[in-house]
Structure 1
Amino acid sequence: MAGQRRVHASRRPRVEVWRDAHVVVTGGSSGIGRAFVRQVGARGARVSVLALPDADLESTRAELEAGHTAYQVVPVDVTDDAAVAAAVAHATRLLGPCEVLLTSAGIAHPGYFERLDGEVFRRTMEVDYFGTLHAIRAVVPAMLERRRGSVVGISSTAGLIGVFGYTAYSPPKFAVRGLLEVLRVELRPAGIHVGCVCPPDTDTPQLAYENRFKPAETFAISGAIKPHAPDEVAASIVEGMERGRFLITPDWQTQVVAHTAGLLRGPWFGYFDWRVRAARRVMPQGRPTQGTRPAR
């Protein structure tokens, strides 16, 4: 990765060289994170995967062991600030300073607001927002010293506009986007790229879990859109880093939402209301059971 003491206003900080760059990925043992690990590993990066100690992490370890990637797998709960700092310190001792960070660890549990347990709201904020914050705080000081690096976090389309059924998920993703927007302004003068990924539904184990609990109205709003492949989303992240983009998304629908959510919030609300009314016309009176797709 190339860096300069000063960054010209017309030149965006970006990832210029992957080979031998140390890339740290939280939540890199499954879904988008794991697809990203594969892609940057194939480009010659040294990769540190920080994730919960479970079967997914062991599977990722075995995959990396069978390849030619210099890697480090570090079991950690991203909600533990001290543990994340220790994990990053351990990884950098073995593979060098972190030059790229992708925060991919996240959870979602959709449902009707009044039926969700309070623990769902707390845990989602801890994993999705504070898990992102802890990892960024662990790598940014060294990037500032070296005056180069790339920090990219995964928000969501639900972090651009509120989506029915995601009262526990949208607020942390809004917070992630807000954090990254501020960091983009603060860190750009030091030559550090900051990006925010807003993927649509992606075919991952997390999405399969969500589909068990989604209200029918949520299916009515998003169910007609085919989920994207994790490799497709990961490729868009790689390209976005290389081009120095802030908003990174693989699909035109999310780009439309990103560019219109603020100016056209009223029409978006109207569209959602229409989809909800259409879904409820084919449902029993009142709110139906979660995880039930509307009839088509």
Structure 2
Amino acid sequence: MLLLAAAFIVAIVLLLYMVSPLISPKPLKLPGAHVVVTGGSSGIGKCIAIECYKQGAFITLIARDENKLLQTKKEIEKYSVNDKQVVLCISVDVSKDYEQVENVLKQAQEKLGPVDLLVNCAGTSVTGKFEDIEVNSFERLMAVNYLGSVYPSRAVISTMKERRMGRIVFVSSQAGQLGLFGYTAYSPTKFALRGLAEALQMEVKPYNIYVTVAYPPDTDTPGFAEESKTKPLETKLISETSSVCQAEQVARVIVKDAIQGNFNSSVGSDGYMLSILTSGMSPVTSITEGLQQVVCMGIFRIVGLFYLGSFDSIVRRCMMQREKSENTDKTE
């Protein structure tokens, strides 16, 4: 049995070695590159723009609020590394009108050159029990979180193919790897990004274009603060099982993975475990990554089952407490 196991591992290593030249992209050089960030006026998007600007990139910020965009532009410009760098601001809703999104991105490319890196960071969240969430919220979240990434990507992909280069980042969430209580409207939109990314990566890989899906954990952003105001108790307790990350830390990881052309981008030990557990048939970009998935999958599944058990326990306790409280109110 040991010999068979050893032979199996050797066969996998040899296979990965043979295909490694096909899956290892060359790093993208950011100095002088044109980086477009949607949802770039605050939170993770803003920090990604700052991180790229620090490395010499030209930035196009896209968001709805023009005032926030202008404030963010001033903040980013403090980090310039040369006097040639430019921060361009465009106020548009990337989830509503594809033609409008296509037109503004054409204008941006006329001013700053072809897009080298597109970061789809526009997104929003609604939490609550499935039956309590308004139906139009499901539609709105799918429009913003999914179509808001489809439209900009669709607008730049042809030029990237012509140039035989480019990077596209979809900012999903750990809630796009694991469905949790309270996220019935939010999680599906983030899961959808992974399906889009996997299919798109297979299409564009021959053109030297690489797609990254980022799965940030709870991150200290204005959006997270707003979401926390309406979280059900169960969701809050589950969220408290892991720490809140800083947007700057998350941005550095995403930019690094995008530059390297990594398909998965995760933060921290929990993020690493989830990326292994949910790797499925997703692309790999190194021999090491593939081997880690093969070796760690079973072990992490055991750990994951303990997490799921604790989450189910939280939900049951909250339900019992709620029913007890309701029965007490009825008897009074």
Query: TM-score if structure 1 supplies the norm length?
Result: 0.88
1:30-179 aligned within 5 A: 30-66=42-78, 68=80, 69-80=85-96, 81-179=98-196
Deviation (angstroms), 1:278? 3.6
Write out per-residue CA displacement over residues 132-172 of structure 1, whole angstroms, 9 at most, x where no aligned residue.
00010011110000100101110111111111100110011
**What whole-Å deviation, never above 9, does each CA across 1:246-286 have from its counterpart, x for those lacking one?**
000121102212222577499354342122124445x4327
1:13 aligns with 2:25: yes
Q: Where does residue 256 of structure 1 map in the other structure?
A: 273
* CA gap 1:9/1:43 in 2 versus in 1, 3 angstroms: same
Mapped partners of 1:212, 1:256: distance in 2? 28
1:12, 1:193 within 8 Å by CA — same for their partners in 2? no
SS of structure 1 residue aligned to 2:250: helix
Secondary structure of the residue aligned to 2:65 is: coil
Provide the rounded CA distance (Å) in 2 between the counterparts of 1:16 and 1:259: 25
Q: Does residue 1:185 correspond to 2:202, yes or no? A: yes
CA RMSD between the two structures: 2.2
Q: Which moved more, 1:207-216 or 1:254-263?
A: 254-263
* 257 and 97 in structure 1: CA distance in 2 versus 1, 3 angstrom threshold: same
Between stretches 79-88 and 253-262, larger displacement belongs to 253-262
Structure 1: gaps (5+ residues): 1-6, 289-296
Measured in 1, the distance between the counterparts of 2:193 and 2:95 equals 14
- Aligned-partner SS, 2:167: strand
> Whole-Å Cα distance in 2 between the matches of residues 54 and 73 of structure 1?
8
Contact 1:19 1:45 in 2 (8 A): yes
Confirm whether residue 210 of structure 1 aligns to residue 227 of structure 2.
yes
Query: Please, which moves more after superposition, 130-139 or 253-262?
Result: 253-262
How many angstroms apart in 2 are the aligned matches of 1:242 and 1:85? Answer: 24
In the alignment, the residues of structure 2 paired with residue 259 and residue 193 of structure 1 have an alpha-carbon distance, to the nearest angstrom, of 20
Partner Cα separation in structure 1 for residue 101 and residue 86 of structure 2: 21
The structure in which a higher percent of residues are helix is 2
Which of 311, 323, 327 is the matching residue for 1:285? Answer: 323
State the one-letter code of the partner of 1:32.
I
- Separation in 1 of the partners of 2:159 and 2:259? 21
Unaligned runs of 5+ in 2: 1-18, 281-296, 327-332
Deviations 1:51-100 (A, max 9, x none): 11243222112224555331210001011211211111110010000010
The range that moved more, 62-71 or 33-42, is 62-71
> Is the counterpart of residue 23 in structure 1 residue 39 in structure 2?
no
Does structure 2 retain, via aligned residues, the 8 Å contact 1:14–1:193? no
Superposed CA offset, 1:214-272 (max 9, x none): 11001111123221000100000111022221000121102212222577499354342
CA positional deviation for 1:178: 0.7
SS at match of 1:284: helix
Correspondence for 2:312: 273
How many residues align? The count is 281
Equivalents in 2 of 1:287, 1:260: separation in Å? Answer: 38
Question: Are the structure 2 counterparts of residues 55 and 249 from structure 1 closer, same or farther at C-alpha, using a change threshold of 3 Å?
Answer: same
- Percent identity reads 37
| Matched position secondary structure for 1:285 | helix
Partners of 2:269 and 2:100 lie apart in 1 by 38
| TM-score (norm. length: structure 2) | 0.79
